[in-house]
Structure 1
Amino acid sequence: MTRDEDLRDLARDIALEAGALAERRRAEGVRVAASKSTLADIVTEADREVEALIRGRLATERPDDGFLGEESGTAEGCSGVTWVVDPIDGTVNYASGMPSYGVSIAAVEGGETLATWTALAGVVHHPALGETYAAARGSGSVCEAGGHTQRIRVATEFPAGALVATGFGYDPRTHAGDIDTVRSVMPIARDVRRIGAASIDLSYVAAGRIDAYFERGLQPWDVAAGALLVVEAGGAIRELPADRFGRRMTVAGEAGLVERIADRISGVTSDE
C-alpha cells in the first residue's frame, strides 16, 4: 500500500468516527454557537466539537503534519503534509435537520489553496446517508455504502443537457450575480440542483450523479477532498478569476463540459 493510500484510509477511519459524533449531536439537538461572515453563515457547537475530534486524532496518528480547519485555523507541520478539514460541511442543512451534510478530510502537500497544493488523499463522508467517498492520488475514487465498495467515474455523456449543481454565497450583495451565472449556464443544462454542501456536490460529480458543479467563493476546506474525488474519477477542476467581491469560481465535471461551462460563465455564448 502506498503512503497516499495509507493517508486515505486514516482519513476514512477518522471521518466515520467524526460523522458518528455529528449524528449523535444532531439527534440531541443542535445549538448554534455563532455567526461568521453574515448572520446566515452559522457555526454550531457540533462543528467545533467534531473538528476537535478530527484534529486530536490526527495529532495522535501523525503529529508532524500540518492542519488547516474551518473552525480552528492553521497549525504548521514539519512533514510537508497538511490536513484540510471541514468538520460539518453544510452546517445550515445540519442545523435545519436536512440530511445533506458531510465530513470532509483531505491530505495535501505544497500549499494551502487548490491552485498551489498537490492533493494526496481525500474522504467525504455523508453520515445521514450512510455513504463514504474516498480517493488517493493515482488510485481512483470509490463510494462505500451498505458494506459494498464501488469504483466511481464522472458522467461523460449529456444527451438531454447537463444536470448541474451550484451554490450561492451568504452575502446578499452577491445573490444577483450568482443568479446571472446560473442563467448563463442554463442553455446547456437539463436542470439545476442546489444541495447546500460543496463536498457533497463534488462527490456526486465524481459518482456521475451530477454532471457538473460550479460555485464562487469556495474555501480550501470546501474543495480539498471533493476536488481529488473528481479528478481521480476521471474529471477536471478549473478555477476562474475572482469577481468584484474577490470570489473565485470553481467548476468541476468532465473536462469538456467544464470548459463549456467556464466559457459561458466568462461570457462566451457559442452554445446557444
Structure 2
Amino acid sequence: MSMHEAGLDRRFALAKSIAEEAGALALDYFNKRDTLVIETKRDPQDVVSIADRNVETLIRERVAAELPEDGFLGEEFSPVEGASGYTWVVDPIDGTAPFVNGMSTWCVSIAVLHGGVPVIGVIHAPCDGEVYASAAGKGASLNGRKLSLDPSRTIQNAITGIGCNTHVEPERVGQIIATLLGMGGNFIRNGSGALMLAYVAAGRLVGYYEPHMHAWDCMAGYCLVKEAGGDHLSFPAEGEALLKGHPVLASNPTAYADLLAIHGR
C-alpha cells in the first residue's frame, strides 16, 4: 500500500466516524430546535444557528487533533491552510432552512480534497439514519450497501433535483425549470443541495443542477456521484477559486448531456 493509499484510508475512516458524531450532535439540536437562536446572513432566507457553528467546531477539532497538517474549509468559520496536500471541506448542516423549520431534509456533509480533487465524500442524513460514503477508487455506499447507477434512467423517466438561491436571478431559475419540463422532465427541490447530490449517487434522482453553489455544499456529493458511476461538471477547487461559488451539475451518465444543455442555455 502506497503512502497516499494509507493516508486516504485513514482519512476515510476518520470522515465516517466524525460524520456519525457530528450527525448525532446536529440531531440533538434539531430535536430541541425551538430553543435555538436563529440569525440571518445574506438575506432572510439564508439562516444560521448555534447548531451550525457548534457542529462545525466539533468537526474542526476532531480533524485538527488527528491530522493537524490538513487544511480545513467550512461554511461557518475562516479557512485553515494545510501542509499535507489534503483539505477538508465541510458543511456542518446543509439545509439549515429545513432544519430550523422542522423538516428532515438536511445533512452533515464532509469532503476531503487532494490536489483540488474530491477524494472522500461522506454525507450523513441523521433524520433518516443514512450515511452515504465514498472514497476515490473505493466506490460509493449507503449504509454499507454499494451504490451503482442504473443506465436506463433519464430525465424523462426519473426526477431531477434543481437548486436555487439569491445568487441566481429568479428569471434564470424559471428558465431552467421551464426548459426541463419542456424536455419531458420533472423536478424537486428539498432545500439541501448536498443531500440531493447524495440522492443522485443513490439513484433516487437522475441528476442535480444548481447555477451557483459553494465547495462545502457539493464536494462530498461530487465524490459520491463519481464513485457511483456518474458524471459531474468540473468545479475549480484550488486557491481563491475554491472559496467562490460555481455552477454544480452531477448526474447519471444517461442524463448528463440533457442537463448540460440546460446549463448552457
TM exceeds 0.5? yes
Q: What pairs with 1:1-272 in structure 2 (closer than 5 Å)?
A: 2=5, 3-30=7-34, 31-110=36-115, 117-144=116-143, 149-158=144-153, 160-170=156-166, 174-239=169-234, 248-267=246-265
SS at match of 1:186: helix
Alpha-carbon distance in structure 2 between the residues aligned to 1:26 and 1:10: 24
Per the alignment, do residues 18 and 67 of structure 1 end up closer, same or farther by CA in structure 2, a change over 3 Å counting?
same
Contact 1:82 1:107 in 2 (8 A): yes
Number of residues of Structure 1 aligned to a counterpart in Structure 2: 252
Alpha-carbon distance in structure 2 between the residues aligned to 1:255 and 1:27: 38
Percent identity reads: 36
- Say what the alpha-carbon RMSD is for the aligned residues: 2.0
2:13 is matched by which residue type in structure 1? Answer: D
1:39 is matched by which residue type in structure 2? Answer: P
Match of 1:270 in 2: none
Q: Unpaired runs of 5+ in structure 1?
A: 111-116, 268-272
Contact 1:90 1:102 in 2 (8 A): yes
TM-score (norm 1): 0.87
Question: Comparing 36-45 with 152-161, which one deviates more in the overlay?
Answer: 152-161
Alpha-carbon distance in structure 1 between the residues aligned to 2:223 and 2:234: 14
SS at match of 1:265: helix
Alpha-carbon distance in structure 2 between the residues aligned to 1:128 and 1:206: 19
Contact 1:154 1:253 in 2 (8 A): no
Alpha-carbon distance in structure 1 between the residues aligned to 2:163 and 2:79: 26
Deviations 1:68-127 (A, max 9, x none): 0000120011111110000000000100010010000111022xxxxxx11121100001
Q: Unpaired runs of 5+ in structure 2?
A: 237-243
Per the alignment, do residues 166 and 138 of structure 1 end up closer, same or farther by CA in structure 2, a change over 3 Å counting?
same
Deviations 1:194-225 (A, max 9, x none): 11111111111001111111011110000110
SS at match of 1:75: coil
Per the alignment, do residues 183 and 155 of structure 1 end up closer, same or farther by CA in structure 2, a change over 3 Å counting?
farther
